[in-house]
Homo-oligomer: A and B are copies of this chain.
């Protein structure tokens, strides 16, 4: 799984990132002030600006690190599994795991793309993790494991349900852990795009 961002004992840079992740995830970007981050991290205003330049620099750094670790985890899954079905299923499992184990991280990642969160950030659909998921589905289509159709539609159809379920869990609308819903979710997801041959 993804390593959590370190806290307390770590250097000031990491302490700021850890505090910002939690605050951004809970209150959002604009409802979190720099003084809030300064207070929560125990790092001084001057240091924060020395390390990150400005408030957006904090968010951008955070976003980049989250996206990169996410991409690596997904890529690892792609390498480990040969067939499209187990690739997709493992990816959904990964997403569920992260959402349960590190909800702040998942919350940040799911929300960071909105205009409201980070001004002028690349939208999710163009983010590398999503492209990777899309690529897996597209490859499955070439191999005949996935039905022929628009690649984008196929990608959103496998992962769309899982992502929305995660959002519900993060919003507190699901009282049981996501794993309890994994089998049903996966069943729906794969039926949606599986080739009729199989």
Residues of chain A having any CB pair with chain B under 8 Å = 26-31, 111, 113-117, 119, 123-126, 149-150, 152-154, 156-157, 159-165, 167-168, 171-174, 181, 184-185, 187-189, 191-193
Contact = CB atoms under 8 A, between A and B. Distances in A.
Contacts of A159: 164
Number of copies: 2
Contact of A152 (B29, B165, B191): B165
Contacts of A167: 124-125
* Interface of A (DSSP majority class): helix
A116 B29 contact: yes
Given A123-B173, A124-B167, A160-B163, 19 more contacts: A114-B114, A124-B171, A125-B167, A149-B187, A152-B168, A152-B174, A153-B161, A153-B165, A153-B184, A156-B160, A156-B161, A156-B168, A157-B185, A157-B192, A160-B160, A160-B161, A160-B164, A188-B193, A192-B192
Nearest to A171: B123
